[in-house]
């Protein structure tokens, strides 16, 4: 069941960067990392609707993997901007344009809005609520290194069910990879430590 899986939030899908010439390769590689344990993990890409349209291959991958239950696409924004600086009506226009994109690609309507930089002004909450979105900012986020250390220490994979680990594309994936592999090992029951 999706709700009990550990959620790996992957922001800024797909934002090109001068430091990473191949965002698609990066996205796929990261998805494969999460998919090392599909029984317990789900990849939650936070979509930038404008940027992703340059990557039809990413859209196809998201469609296929969403159908397989290995991805849960959610919303980051129409653009990577400070939504706090926009009026309520402008925000609503952006959200509606985003929904059109999701609908147009037969993707499920997003239920979470991970705002860029965690913007969480009242009018953004109002807009989210008006569109049945839950606005998630940056409070309470768990970083991969913290998750890895906690799992290594407490060996309590069940605590992580339904929780979310937040990873930024520019971070190295070592800690998260270790978390996934440790989790997998612990839940296979072959770790006596």
Contacts with Zn ion, residue ranges (CB under 5 A): 11-12, 116
Q: Whose Cβ is closer to Zn ion: residue 12's or residue 51's? A: 12
Q: Which is nearer to Zn ion, 78 or 186 (CB)?
A: 78
> Can you tell me the distance from the alpha carbon of 179 to that of 34, in angstroms, rounded to the nearest whole number?
10
CB 126 within 8 A of CB 147: no
State the nearest-atom distance from the C-beta of 124 to Zn ion, in Å.
Answer: 15
CB of 46 to Zn ion, least distance (A): 7
User: For residue 72, which phi and psi values (nearest 5 degrees)?
Assistant: -135, 90
Residue 141 vs 150, nearer CB to Zn ion: 141
Residue 111 neighbours by CB under 8 Å, 6+ apart: 74, 132, 133, 134
Smallest distance, Zn ion to C-beta of residue 45, A: 12
Closest CB 171 distance from Zn ion, rounded Å: 12
Residues 119 and 136: their CA atoms lie apart, in Å, by 9
Closest to Zn ion by CB, 69 vs 118, is 118
Q: Assign residue 132 a region (left: φ > 0; alpha: ψ between -120 and 50; beta: otherwise).
A: left
């Amino acid at each position: 069941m999706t709700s009990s899986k550990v959620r790996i939030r992957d922001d800024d899908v797909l934002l090109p960067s001068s430091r990473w010439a191949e965002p698609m390769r990066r996205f796929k590689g990261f998805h494969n990392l999460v998919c090392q344990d599909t029984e317990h993990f789900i990849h939650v890409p936070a979509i930038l609707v404008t940027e992703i349209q340059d990557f039809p291959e990413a859209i196809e991958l998201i469609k296929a993997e969403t159908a397989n239950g290995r991805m849960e696409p959610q919303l980051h924004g129409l653009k990577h901007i400070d939504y706090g600086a926009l009026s309520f009506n402008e925000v609503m226009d952006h959200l509606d344009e985003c929904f059109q994109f999701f609908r147009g690609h037969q993707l499920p309507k997003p239920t979470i809005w991970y705002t860029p930089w965690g913007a969480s002004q009242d009018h953004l909450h109002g807009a989210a609520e008006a569109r049945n979105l839950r606005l998630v900012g940056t409070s309470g986020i768990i970083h991969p290194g913290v998750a890895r250390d906690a799992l290594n220490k407490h060996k309590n994979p069940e605590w992580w069910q339904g929780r979310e680990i937040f990873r930024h594309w520019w971070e190295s994936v070592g800690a998260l990879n270790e978390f996934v592999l440790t989790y997998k090992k612990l839940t296979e029951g072959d770790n006596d430590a």
